[in-house]
Every structure is written in C-alpha cells, then in structure tokens.
Amino acid sequence: MLLAADLDPRHVVALAVVRGALVAKRRLPRAGDPGLELTAVARELERALAPAATMVPRAEGPWLPAERYAEPSC
C-alpha cells in the first residue's frame, strides 16, 4: 500500500498494488478516522492476493509487461 498526497490538502490517497496492478484507490481524510476507507482497501488487497485471483487489466495501452522489457530487441 502506498500513501500519496491528494490535490485537496484535506486528504491523502491510498493506493494498493498487487503484482504491478492497481487493485484499490481510496481518498483518506487527514483528520478523523479513515477506518471505513482502509477497510475497503484491505478487502481489495485480500481479494487480489487470494491464490485463485485472476488479474484483469484495468486499461489497455501500448506498453509491454515488465518481464518483456528485459528481452533483447531484434
């Protein structure tokens, strides 16, 4: 899980990444109890880390998977 600054100074953003894929993104309040939002992030992390979980890409793009970058180009 990664915490990042939000454009709104009252919040931070929690990003959950599993195997290089973003599985959850939630805005957390800087003040107060972020328990509800963190519970949702933890649930998504648990679901993504389950042995039977399949990773579905959220976006298509022109990039290659990370393991392909190590291959020599012809």
Residue-level pLDDT at 7: 92
Q: Is the dihedral of CA 26, 2, 21, 47 positive or negative?
A: negative
pLDDT tens digits, 37-64: 889 889 988 888 887 766 555 555 565 5
Q: Contact, 54 vs 47, CB < 8 A?
A: no
- DSSP class of residue 8 equals S
pTM tops 0.85, yes or no: no
Per-residue HEC secondary structure of 17-67 comes to EECCEEEEEEEEECCCCCHHHHHHHHHHHHHHHCCCCCCCCCCCCCCCCHH
